[in-house]
Amino acid sequence: MALRYVVKKRMIGFGKEKTEKYVAQNFITNTVNFKDLCDEISKVGMVPSGAVKFVLDALIDTLNINLNKGISVQLGDFGQFRPGISSESQETEAAVDSDTIRRVKIVFTPRYKFKDMLKKASIQKLVTGSEIVDNGNTPTPPNPDGGGDGGDEEAPDPTV
């Protein structure tokens, strides 16, 4: 499996410096919901899915408690969660107060297992909804097995 991206047009800069540029943007192919995640963990860890759900719910509650106190939470090889803020810059120190904070957020910093996974991940450019380019090479057809696309082609014989 590969990480996929699409090319998007962006306006970069301000005023006279504003120019049109193209950037790679991550393309999310799907989302795993909480129930399915619990089921997957249950199968891999051989723990009942109810126990997995209970532990994950407790983890979420505990993260909320600690992050609301301004405490960073380290989860071993998984990574670290910490509270963060985004704020508007001001001309003077005195002008900075809680009203200049635009957003409160949670920052996740992955540890080495995730970092290693990302270093090893392949990257593919998504050309169309069904065609991909592998690291800038030629497009891969949507049916690499040579099967048809639902048109007038004859279906392959499964007994051969």
Most confident of 74-78, 144-148, 150-154: 74-78
Instruction: Give me the pLDDT at residue 108, please.
Output: 95
Query: For 77-81, what is the mean pLDDT?
Result: 93
Backbone dihedral angles phi then psi of residue 17, each to the nearest 5 degrees: -80, -5
Answer yes or no: are the C-beta atoms of 81 and 46 closer than 8 Å: no
Give the residue extent of every domain in the chain. Answer: 1-11+29-123
Instruction: Give me the pLDDT at residue 133, please.
Output: 53
Answer yes or no: are the C-beta atoms of 111 and 117 closer than 8 Å: no
Instruction: Give me the pLDDT at residue 92, please.
Output: 95
Per-residue pLDDT of 29-67, as tens digits, reads 899 999 999 999 999 999 999 999 999 999 999 999 999
Q: Is the pLDDT of residue 81 over 60?
A: yes
Distance, in Å, from the CA atom of 112 to the CA atom of 142, rounded to the nearest integer, reads: 34
Instruction: Give me the pLDDT at residue 138, please.
Output: 46
**CATH topology for 1-11+29-123?**
HU Protein; Chain A (4.10.520)
Instruction: Give me the pLDDT at residue 129, please.
Output: 53
Q: Which two tokens stand for residue 101?
A: 């904070």
Instruction: Give me the pLDDT at residue 147, please.
Output: 42
150 versus 53: the higher-pLDDT residue is 53
pLDDT band at 158; cut points 50, 70, 90? very low
Instruction: Give me the pLDDT at residue 131, please.
Output: 52
As a 3-state breakdown, the chain gives helix, strand, coil percent values, each rounded to 5, of 30, 30, 40
